[in-house]
Amino acid sequence: LSDRLTAALQTLTRKGKLSDADIDATAREIRIALLEADVALGVVKTFIARIKERAKGAEVSQALNPAQQVIKIVNEELVGILGGETRRLNLAKNPPTVIMLAGLQGAGKTTLAGKLALWLKKQGHAPMLVACDLQRPNAVTQLQVVGERAGVVTFAPEPGNGVGDPVDVARRAIAEAKHAQHDVVVVDTAGRLGVDEELMKQAADIRDAVQPDETLFVVDAMIGQDAVTTAEAFRDGVGFTGVVLTKLDGDARGGAALSVREVTGQPILFASNGEKLEDFDTFHPDRMASRILGMGDVLTLIEQAEQAFDQDQAEKAAEKLSSGQLTLEDFLEQMLAVRKMGPIGNLLGMLPGAGQMKDQLAQVDDKHLDKLQAIIRGMTPAERDNPKMINGSRRLRIANGSGVSVREVNDLVNRFFEARKMMAQMAGRFGFGGGGGGSK
Ligand code: GDP
Ligand code: MG
């Protein structure tokens, strides 16, 4: 990638849409990256198709080469699919909130129970763990141990009564939680090495008995391609409202995250990355996206290229501004930049007496800005470059084209000329704009 990258960074003058060849070339690499990350094949296919579609409509960026641009789109799309902002845990209006854990044996449910308990406790909750895995002899003890480590109460069947009934334990646990005023109950369940009907039935029975507010499907990130079939089996057999990925401390690239999310539509809420109770965090889609892509340095490069380009733009604009050559295109760009407290905003802030101008620019609200943008986009490039040529009939055409009144076009053009004059004067007076522009 990087050879092409440096080469293409030197040809930033292309305009128009991204070409099919550009998109196809990068899409091939992305496809390989996703398959290497163990994303299920079907998911890779639909994902690539979606990316191609979106990339086709994209304008060629001035800051990035086509490959970078496609990767940027891929990354954005990945972050979007993985959940954008993380969803929070659903808490019941009438406590206790019941959280049920489901998943294959060894997925990390029991460990997660302890992690969740500690995490909830730190947030001021009074959680209780419930041992509903009565399948394996040690399962109850294991839960009691993590419960102790987390410093929370564990509800378990009395020893010596043979193999208890998990549904009965679950039911009694909820009653006990209400009685002892635990506001969150985490129900640990049994798992099998493979999906089987008996296991599903038991989980469904426990679910019906405790009516969970959240059922979390716990899945080992190392499971790779199998993630889809397992997730589908649990979705159909028990149903779940969220996903927890475990063992992210391993070397798995985490394709399971994308597969499970894409196939079940349920959000990933938490990530486990170690055996200790502290090795646990809410899920971060952006980190996972870059892990799945395995292109961390490329993503950093893209960010840097964009920042460098912004900087470049700002310097050019300052130069133009001081020589009174600001175009409407620059004007629009700068207004957009001010909204983000960009270069001109900062620049003006440093100039004595320029506060008023800055306020004026900063007052432009988003809706107004959209309109200004529509008007300027409705102009020909020649008009944007040389606003003096925008006469009466051109104003009428622009107004009709962008769905505004002629008065609004007039306002914009007049305001632009005023701003340009004022900025050139200020620049001259305070002598900024580098060696070239200077005072006249
Ligand atoms: P369960 O069968 O679903 O209850 O799974 P366990 O909680 O018993 O976990 C199975 C094994 O995986 C145990 O040895 C855990 O210590 C280990 N484990 C669980 N979560 C993680 C994790 O995030 N990272 C690592 N490295 N090991 C984990
Ligand atoms: Mg367990």
Cβ–ligand 1 distance for 271 under 6 Å, the answer no
Check pLDDT > 80 for residue 170.
yes
- Whether the complex's predicted ipTM is more than 0.95 is answered with yes
Check pLDDT > 70 for residue 233.
yes
What CATH number is attached to the domain comprising 73?
1.20.120.140
Q: What is the pLDDT of residue 103?
A: 96
Is 247 inside any structural domain?
A: yes
286-305: average pLDDT: 84
Q: What is the pLDDT of residues 171-206, one digit of tens each?
A: 999 999 999 999 999 999 998 888 888 889 999 999
Q: What is the pLDDT of residue 310?
A: 76
Cβ–ligand 1 distance for 129 under 6 Å, the answer no
59-73, 99-113, 225-239: least confident range: 59-73
Determine whether the annotation assigns residue 215 to a binding site. Answer: no
Cβ–ligand 1 distance for 114 under 6 Å, the answer no
Determine whether the annotation assigns residue 264 to a binding site. Answer: no
| Number of the ligand closest to the Cα of 245 | 1
The share of the chain scoring above pLDDT 90, in percent, equals: 51
Cβ–ligand 1 distance for 246 under 6 Å, the answer yes
Distance CA 173, CA 186 (A): 10
Ligand 1 center to 272 CA (angstroms) = 9
Tell me: do 37 and 162 sit in the same domain.
no
Ligand 1 center to 140 CA (angstroms) = 15
Helix 2-9 and helix 66-82, axial crossing angle in degrees, nearest 10 = 120
Position with higher pLDDT, 347 vs 214: 214
Tell me: do 77 and 106 sit in the same domain.
no
Q: What is the pLDDT of residue 9?
A: 40
Cβ–ligand 1 distance for 115 under 6 Å, the answer no
Residue having the nearest C-alpha atom to atom 23 of ligand 1: 247
Determine whether the annotation assigns residue 301 to a binding site. Answer: no
Full domain range(s) for residue 33: 2-82
Check pLDDT > 70 for residue 6.
no
Tell me: do 115 and 262 sit in the same domain.
yes
Q: Integer distance in angstroms from the first to the last C-alpha of the chain?
A: 48
Cβ–ligand 1 distance for 275 under 6 Å, the answer yes
115-119, 126-130, 402-406: least confident range: 402-406
Tell me: do 108 and 234 sit in the same domain.
yes
pLDDT bucket at 297, cuts 50 / 70 / 90: confident
Last residue of some domain: 34, 57, 82?
A: 82
Residue having the nearest C-alpha atom to atom 11 of ligand 1: 106
Strands 214-220 and 153-155 come out as unpaired
- 201's CB contacts (< 8 A; 6+ apart) are 237
Last residue of some domain: 57, 82, 107?
A: 82
Cβ–ligand 1 distance for 107 under 6 Å, the answer yes
106: phi > 0 → left, psi -120 to 50 → alpha, else beta; which?
left
Ligand 2 center to 250 CA (angstroms) = 19
Determine whether the annotation assigns residue 221 to a binding site. Answer: no
109-132: average pLDDT: 97
Tell me: do 350 and 423 sit in the same domain.
yes
Check pLDDT > 90 for residue 140.
yes
Tally of domains in the chain: 3
Write down the pTM of the prediction.
0.72
Determine whether the annotation assigns residue 147 to a binding site. Answer: no
Counting ligand 1 atoms within 8 A of each CB, the residue from 101, 105, 111, 199 with the most, and so the one to mutate, is 111
Tell me: do 123 and 203 sit in the same domain.
yes
Task: Give me 333's structure tokens.
Answer: 């760009």
Q: What is the pLDDT of residue 364?
A: 55
Q: What is the pLDDT of residue 437?
A: 36
50-64, 78-92, 346-360, 377-391: least confident range: 346-360
Distance CA 62, CA 11 (A): 9
212-216, 230-234, 235-239, 415-419: least confident range: 415-419
67-76, 147-156, 316-325, 374-383: least confident range: 316-325
Tell me: do 68 and 183 sit in the same domain.
no
Distance CA 30, CA 50 (A): 12
Residue having the nearest C-alpha atom to atom 9 of ligand 1: 108
Last residue of some domain: 48, 82, 116?
A: 82
pLDDT bucket at 94, cuts 50 / 70 / 90: very high
- Listed residue (200, 125, 201, 205) closest to 170, CA to CA: 205
- 263's CB contacts (< 8 A; 6+ apart) are 40, 43, 228, 231, 232
Cβ–ligand 1 distance for 109 under 6 Å, the answer yes
Position with higher pLDDT, 319 vs 124: 124
Cβ–ligand 1 distance for 202 under 6 Å, the answer no
Q: Is residue 111 within 8 Å of 146, Cβ to Cβ?
A: yes
Cβ–ligand 1 distance for 237 under 6 Å, the answer no
Tell me: do 9 and 158 sit in the same domain.
no
Q: Is residue 134 within 8 Å of 157, Cβ to Cβ?
A: yes
Q: What is the pLDDT of residues 340-349, one digit of tens each?
A: 544 444 444 4
Position with higher pLDDT, 193 vs 5: 193
Task: Give me 327's structure tokens.
Answer: 């175009």
What CATH number is attached to the domain comprising 341?
1.10.260.30
Q: What is the pLDDT of residue 279?
A: 95
Can you tell me which atom of ligand 1 is nearest the CA of 246?
23
429-435: average pLDDT: 48
